[in-house]
Amino acid sequence: MMQVNAAVKKKRKIKDACLNAITYLSSGLGAFILIAIFVFIFSKGFSSLGFDLLKGNYWSNNYLVSVEESYNQAGNYQAPADLNEGAAFSSKWGIAFVDAQDQNKDNVILIEYVDEASPFARLLDDSIKDKQVTLSAESGFQVERISYQDENGITYTAGNIMSQNAKELCEALDQADVIEQAYFKTPGGGIRGSILSTLYLILVSLLIALPLGIAAAIYLHEYAKQNKVTALIRSAIDMLTGVPSIIFGLMGVTVLFPVTQLFGATTTNILLGAFTMAVILLPTIIRSTEEALIVVPKSMRDASLSLGANQSQTIFKVVLPCAIPGILTGVMLSIGRVIGESAALIYTMGTYVNDAPHLLSQGTSLAVHIYNIMSSEQPNFELASAISIVILIFVLILNITVKLLSKKLNKAWY
């Protein structure tokens, strides 16, 4: 008898251990996936991350230029003392180049330094025919092509297009007598425009959704009687949570686009995206505000009313200030939602990356920028991952803030 019991017990123990083990395994899998995502994104994107990415334009500017006639001659220039060691300096033309890699990991030559008196500081824009537009080569320009004549008047071409590096380009220029034409490019691939658009989106959508959401939450919690109308309003707002964001996008272009037209919009635009986001954010803001209102004790309201305040004074002077941490939580969650949203915005703002976005122009949020990159023929994983890192960092910061806020909310003073 005892032996059988022991056997049963042993079997049970093994079974229990197995069951426990699979829960460990599945959690481990979850953790593994998270780590895999972070490792992948960071390893792919980290090298592209930098201030140039954050503040640079996405589109390259192309400059086809020639040197102003009167300055088009060689001189003798001194390299500045603080010139980068890897840079190749042409003392004849007063310009220095360095080797670098662009966003696509191709080798390029960048201008490192231009002497103030150098011929390259006095350029004419050839792409504009009838007007004389002068400009100067600047450090950071990508040198695609420089064509020059040697003393015999024979034209040569140098630059990136000839697969030269900085040193070779410099040596080539030392042969030159006259510069015929140059083709420069700015690097591009930056995300400043998308960051700006994202900020616009966050700002405008919160500006609309916050007052509306807070007011709705106040009605639902402070005024509404428990009846059928209230129940209907509540369930209608709850239902919004379950609507996929792409549907909000469809709603945006049909219902809200005419509204932005009143402001003068002709295409889909950032304002439309913000309007649409505001609708998406409403349930989040209403819920977190209401949760915060619930925590404010009823005795606060009683005290205020018994002192001869009316209900609006009670709400604005006592109840809402008490609810601020909760409302802030809602704001943080909303910002996270705006940063992460893509499908609704693709419909309402377009996928054109805009370097100079304004409210009524098209533009991409960071997330849509990623989608734009990923849906091209040859997706640039490095850039997409770099933007993902920016987004993840934002989201992490927001998450931590929410956690701290809710801690503050929980150990409340009452």
Partner 1 sequence: MKSFVRDVISTEKNEKKLRKDKRMRACFFTAALLSSSAIAVIVIFISMKGITPFLQEGVDFFSFLFGTTWRKDQGIYGVGFIIVNTLVSSFGALLLSFPLSVLTALFITKIAPKKLSAMMTTVIELLASIPSVVYGVFASGTITLLVSTLAAQFGLVTAGGSSLLAVILLLAIMIFPTITSLSITAIRAVDKDVELGSLALGATRTQTNFKVVLTSAKSGIFAGAILGLGRAFGEATAVAMVAGNKMFGPTFNLFDTTRTLTTTMLSGLKETTGLDYDIRFSAGLVLMAVILLSNLILNLVKKKVGNMK
Partner 2 sequence: MNAETIFHVDHLDLFYGDKQALKQIKMDIKRNKITALIGPSGCGKSTFLRCLNRMNDLVDGCKVSGTIELDGNDIHSTQMNVVDLRTKVGMVFQKANPFPMSIYDNIAYGPRCQGIKSKKILDEIVEQSLTKAALWEEVKDRLQESAFGLSGGQQQRLCIARAIAMEPEVILMDEPTSALDPISTSKIEEMAMELKKDYTIIIVTHNMQQAARVSDETAFFLMGEMVEFDETKKIFQQPSDKRTEDYITGRFG
| Candidate ranges 66-74, 77-85, 153-161, 303-311; the one touching partner 2 (CB under 8 A) | 303-311
- Alpha-carbon gap, residue 357 to 359, rounded angstroms: 7
CA neighbor of 412 nearest in space, from 283, 289, 282, 325: 325
Query: Which of 22, 116, 308, 378 forms a contact with partner 2 (CB under 8 A)?
Result: 308
- Alpha-carbon gap, residue 170 to 120, rounded angstroms: 14
Which partner in partner 1, partner 2, none is near 237 (CB below 5 to 8 A by kind)? partner 1
| Candidate ranges 36-44, 148-156, 257-265, 311-319; the one touching partner 2 (CB under 8 A) | 311-319
Number of chain positions touching partner 1 (CB under 8 A)? 88
129 lines the binding site for partner 2 (CB under 8 A): no
- Alpha-carbon gap, residue 121 to 67, rounded angstroms: 8
SS3 annotation, 270-320: HHHHHHHHHHHHHHHHHHHHHHHHHHCCHHHHHHHHHCCCCHHHHHHHHHH
226 lines the binding site for partner 2 (CB under 8 A): yes
344 contacts 245 by C-beta, under 8 angstroms: yes
Which partner in partner 1, partner 2, none is near 27 (CB below 5 to 8 A by kind)? partner 1
Site string for partner 1, 274-313 (x = CB under 8 A): -----x--xx--x---------------------x-xxxx
274 contacts 201 by C-beta, under 8 angstroms: yes
CB of 414 to partner 2, least distance (A): 8
Overall size of the chain counted in residues: 414
149 lines the binding site for partner 2 (CB under 8 A): no
CA neighbor of 347 nearest in space, from 357, 330, 362, 332: 362
342 lines the binding site for partner 1 (CB under 8 A): yes
Which partner in partner 1, partner 2, none is near 384 (CB below 5 to 8 A by kind)? partner 1
Site string for partner 1, 90-129 (x = CB under 8 A): ----------------------------------------
348 lines the binding site for partner 1 (CB under 8 A): no
Which partner in partner 1, partner 2, none is near 295 (CB below 5 to 8 A by kind)? none
321 lines the binding site for partner 2 (CB under 8 A): yes
**Residue corresponding to tokens 């499908």:** 343
CB of 305 to partner 2, least distance (A): 7
For partner 2, the binding residues in 273-302 under the rule CB under 8 A are 297, 299-300, 302
Q: What is the DSSP string of 312-369?
A: HHIIIIIIHHHHHHHHHHHHHHHHHHHHH--HHHHHHH-S---SS--TTS----HHHH
Backbone φ and ψ for 187, nearest 5 degrees, come out as -65, -45
Query: Which of 322, 345, 346, 366 forms a contact with partner 2 (CB under 8 A)?
Result: 322
Backbone φ and ψ for 103, nearest 5 degrees, come out as -60, -30
CB of 236 to partner 1, least distance (A): 4
Query: Which of 48, 245, 284, 362 forms a contact with partner 1 (CB under 8 A)?
Result: 245
Query: Which of 83, 250, 295, 320 forms a contact with partner 1 (CB under 8 A)?
Result: 250
Query: Which of 40, 61, 133, 150 forms a contact with partner 1 (CB under 8 A)?
Result: 40
* C-alpha triplet 293, 295, 299: angle, nearest 5°: 90
Tell how strand 134-135 and strand 123-125 pair up.
antiparallel
360 lines the binding site for partner 1 (CB under 8 A): no
CB atoms within 10 A of CB 182: 24
